[in-house]
Amino acid sequence: MSLKQIFKFFKTSAPSLSYSRCIFCTSETLKNSNNGKRPPRVNRPLLDANKVFQFNNWDNVDWDEEMESDARKKVEANSTIKLSSDEQEKYEKDANKYWDAFYSQHQNRFFKDRNWLFTEFAELASHRNSSSDSADPETTSNETYPGEKASTRIFEVGCGVGNTIFPLLEANNDPHLFVYGCDLSATAIQIVKEHSSYDPNRCHAFVADISDQQTQLPFPPASLDFIILIFVLSAIKPDKMLDTIRRLSAYLKPGGMVLFRDYGRYDMAQLRIKKGKCLEDNFYIRGDGTRVYFFKQDELRELFVKAGLAEEQCYVDRRLQVNRGRQLKMFRVWIQCKYRLNPTTLPRSIDNVHGSK
């Protein structure tokens, strides 16, 4: 089937969707895309549009210029009306209340466990341990901070109800691994602590607003091997993002890494937002009062590099998800990044990471 035939198929088979045109990457396209950095996996590229409803997901779906233009117009339309400064302040001040309400309603039923972590972030898979004869974890009773005796420490920001924490723990019985998780929602943290796999000898969950520079964290600077930011930076006010990343980076060991995944510009979720929900450009209020930002690749590069981190990966992950029962096509756009603190970087004081250029 030719490329022109593929376009025609999508236009005629999904008239109810504005974004029914796409270019399907060949292996050569993937090889040469993303500044020469091939994505970590290529599971299922759609090469025959007649088979679009054969599976639920298709990987590495590029957009043509017309599709990009249509998306831009939708975003311009839903951004014409901005919320007042008083309303913006309310959503900033009460952000934790909206997330508490979210988790009170959904408990641990909304998000699935992120077992895909080990595929997308192979660095975490390297700490998996299949041995069953590992020594028992040492007690934390004589530690000056939780996880002090661990040799590998992972911190998830915005841990929700543990959909990352528990897959990490269940996949790894190494007693020298310790996982931290924080969330703005006290309700979410309570659900984490009530989980049957929650073990204070292996993990520590706590409430924290990571965008608040006065927030105290339960571990010292230069103590973390990995910081995980999955669909969390997008919930923070854009003018607080850089200082948040700078502060977090001060807790990385030299050579430590930030693993990031979040919403990309023109994701389906952004295009569905109605007028009157825009806080500022590309930053919105959802129907439940929680906030979401949609990133561009260059924005993220600038944020992380300004924070003193070196890029190892930053690519746009465009996918086509289909509802086979309803014959619907949904285009998702996510951005996945890996940024590392230079191994020769000297540990930085938390007091000295703010406001540097």
Residue 353's pLDDT is 55
Cα–Cα distance for residue pair 334/229, rounded to 1 Å: 13
- Largest Cα–Cα distance of the chain, in whole Å? 68
Q: What proportion of the chain, given as a percentage, has pLDDT over 90?
A: 60
Judge whether 225 and 155 are in contact, CB under 8 Å: no
Confidence check: pLDDT of 24 > 60 = no
pLDDT at 343: 83
List the one residue out of 188, 310, 305, 176 whose CA is nearest residue 254.
310
What average pLDDT is seen over the chain?
Answer: 82
> pLDDT tens for residues 79-96?
999 999 999 999 999 999
Structure confidence at residue 34 (pLDDT): 47
3-state secondary structure the chain: CCHHHHHHHHHHHCCCCCCCCCEECCHHHHHHCHHHCCCCCCCCECCCHHHHHHCCEEECEECCHHHHHHHHHHHHHHCCCECCHHHHHHHHHCHHHHHHHHHHHHCCCCCCCCCCHHHHCHHHHCCCECCCCCCCCCCCCCCCCCCCCCCEEEEEECCCCCCCHHHHHHCECCCCEEEEEEECCHHHHHHHHCCCCCCCCCEEEEECCCCCCCCCCCCCCCCEEEEEEECCHHHCCHHHHHHHHHHHHCCEEEEEEEEEEEEECCCHHHHCCCCCCEEECCEEECCCCCEEECECHHHHHHHHHHCCEEEEEEEEEEEEEEECCCCEEEEEEEEEEEEEECCCCCCCCHHHCCCCC
Per-residue pLDDT for 140 more than 80? no
Burial (CB < 10 A; 0-12, 13-18, 19+), residue 194, is exposed
**Which residues 6+ apart lie within 8 Å of 241 measured at CB?**
233, 303
Tens of pLDDT, residue by residue over 210-252, are: 999 999 999 999 999 999 999 999 999 999 999 999 999 999 9
> Which of the residue ranges 15-19, 109-113, 273-277 has the most confident prediction, judged by mean pLDDT?
273-277
Q: What is the pLDDT of residue 254?
A: 95
Among 124-128, 143-147, 332-336, whose mean pLDDT is lowest?
124-128
Q: What pLDDT, on the 0 to 100 scale, is given for residue 99?
A: 94
pLDDT of residue 113: 65
pLDDT at 59: 73
Distance of CA 93 to the CA centre of its chain: 23
Residue that has been written with the tokens 């091997």 in this structure: 225
Report whether pLDDT(184) > 60.
Answer: yes
Average pLDDT over residues 167-173: 88
CA angle in degrees (0–180, nearest 5) for 336-308-235? 45
Residue scoring higher pLDDT (132 or 147): 147
How many whole angstroms separate alpha carbon 135 and alpha carbon 153?
18
Q: Sorting pLDDT into bands at 50, 70 and 90, what band is 357? A: very low
Instruction: Identify the band that residue 350 occupies on the pLDDT scale cut at 50, 70 and 90.
Output: low
More confidently predicted of 171 and 325: 171
Give pLDDT, residue 128.
Answer: 57
pLDDT of residue 328: 73
Residue 7 pLDDT > 90: no
pLDDT tens for 304-341 read: 999 999 999 999 988 887 777 777 777 899 999 999 99
* Dist. CA 38–CA 70, nearest whole Å: 27
Residue 288 confidence (pLDDT) above 60: yes
Q: Is 33 exposed, middle or buried (0-12, 13-18, 19+ CB in 10 A)?
A: middle
The pLDDT value given to residue 67: 82
Grade residue 27 by pLDDT with cuts at 50, 70 and 90.
very low
